[in-house]
Structure 1
């Protein structure tokens, strides 16, 4: 078969995988970009009878963690290295003082692409970001009134979405060509250098919702296709940017988001109450 990302040949690596206890599919790996993909998926309507799987018990915790990571990342995105990053580890506690004086709040618009119930958008707006929601397949429950509108979004977020894509090239074209953000920040568990065995939990045989899988080579190819720079903070958190950014510095801060979050968050003004007032005005005018 042909890879649904780059169009190169894909070779069979696993046969007769069982999804939802009754559907079979074969797993192929692209010889070029290394994306793993299933050959024939005919169960998605069944798998998405509920858009969020009942097995996703980490949804709330994950969104809280990601909101912290986004705040820290966007706060330091333009910081310059003062000294080698290994010294940052030694003087970590002093960096809070430095950062409190040096960082500037991120003010540009953010779009959560595949935003689910809207939890992340609400968390980001509560923190002070001008964030908006977009999802064709899930009802917006928690960020109503802040759906995608016209205008340019400097940052696109897409967390736990890529592994669900039946046609990743189509969706990535939309992200990188139609929206053309300065930063595309995504999360999906990358699989490493070897094809995982059948015990890898991220295959999600029980839900049938994970159908494409990526590794570092895949992300490098994506960056090359669309003319972006790329690096991963860890195996789950990946950043694409139009301009070069300081990878080691950003990785240092983002991996320690819990430590820096409270200090950085003080630089922002929550939109919780102003959003409340905006919604009241909308009700009055309706």
Structure 2
């Protein structure tokens, strides 16, 4: 195979023999994919096309963005009950347009927003200020990470608990045309995890791993019941009816806070 590197360094465990498995089209680029035998991580070649892919921070085909944020806010509310989080600061890492931040503040949690590449449209005045954080959320972030370990180092320097979503890649590894999550039409997904990969990360950072199906995960310093975690994630609507009652909405208090900020601006 002329011009194709048969191995690349795994971006998770740094195994030097992450093996070439196939190539496929992302945007208009023909991209090579590699799979690590040690941690199971599947990655693209060096993603030279990202500037083009992120012409818009939120890709145009993300039609599920509102539904996903509502679902994640309910699951996060249930998790907060499980972890006994009520007034502590929560950070939504790479929080996009701040939809999740606003939803969680509407429910009653002190959620702050952070995103290096996206505008804060809905939670202005509630950006992350470097304070201690009890829980960090990162929904649909992991598959975008160019340097996963560097980003995880940053995340764990902020909080010992990371609640995140990423769809685990099936086994055997599907061809690019057989799995929608490769994201051929937007080119933003460059790394794909397996349960084996997440277990490797849990061991590396000395955390406990909890997963529901192939989609929602928690890396935590806390030991909790795996069964209870799965129940709260599966029946999120049912339990949300009760868990949301632990807190009071911040809608009015946030209005007052933003009014103060705006008054100061116009002094």
Which of the numbers 18, 25, 28 marks the counterpart of 2:25?
18
Match of 1:207 in 2: 186
Q: Select the residue among 134, 140, 148 that pairs with 1:160.
A: 140
Off by >3 Å, runs of 4+ in structure 1:
none
In structure 1, how many angstroms separate the alpha carbons of the residues matched to 2:130 and 2:160? 17
Aligned residues: 256
Q: How far apart are the structure 2 equivalents of 1:190 and 1:245?
A: 22
SS in 2 for 1:227: coil
1:133 aligns with 2:141: no
Find 1:65's aligned residue among 71, 93, 118.
71
Contact 1:127–1:268 (Cα < 8 Å) also in 2: yes
Deviation at 1:183, TM superposition (A): 1.4
Q: Does 1:197 align with 2:175?
A: yes
Match of 2:220 in 1: 241
CA–CA separation in structure 1 for the residues paired with 2:64 and 2:101: 17
Q: Distance in 2 between matches of 1:141 and 1:24?
A: 35
Could you say what secondary structure the match of 2:132 adopts?
Answer: coil
Structure 1 unmatched runs, 5+: 79-104
Structure 2 contact 210–229 (Cα < 8 Å) conserved = no
Question: 1 CA distance for matches of 2:58 and 2:74?
Answer: 22
Distance 1:276 1:42 in 2: 43
| Partner in structure 2 of residue 255 of structure 1 | 234
Counterpart of 1:5 (choices 1, 12, 18) is: 12
CA-to-aligned-CA distance 1:125-148 (integer Å, 9 cap, x gap): 000000000000111101111000
RMSD: 1.2
* Residues 269-280 of structure 1 mapped to structure 2, 5 A cutoff: 269-280=248-259
Q: Contact 1:125–1:271 at 8 Å: present in 2 too?
A: yes
How far 1:76 moved relative to its partner?
2.3
SS in 2 for 1:232: strand
Compute the TM-score of the two structures, normalised by the length of structure 1. 0.87
- Unmatched tracts of structure 2, length 5 or more: 1-7
For residues 76-107 of structure 1, the C-alpha deviation after alignment (integer angstroms, 9 at most, x for no partner) is 235xxxxxxxxxxxxxxxxxxxxxxxxxx622
Q: How far apart in 2 are the matches of 1:117 and 1:197?
A: 32
How far residue 119 of structure 1 moved from its aligned partner, in angstroms, is: 0.3
Q: What is the deviation of 1:243?
A: 2.4
What TM-score does the superposition give when structure 2 sets the normalisation length? 0.93
3-state secondary structure, aligned to 1:166: coil
State the match for 2:48 in structure 1: 42
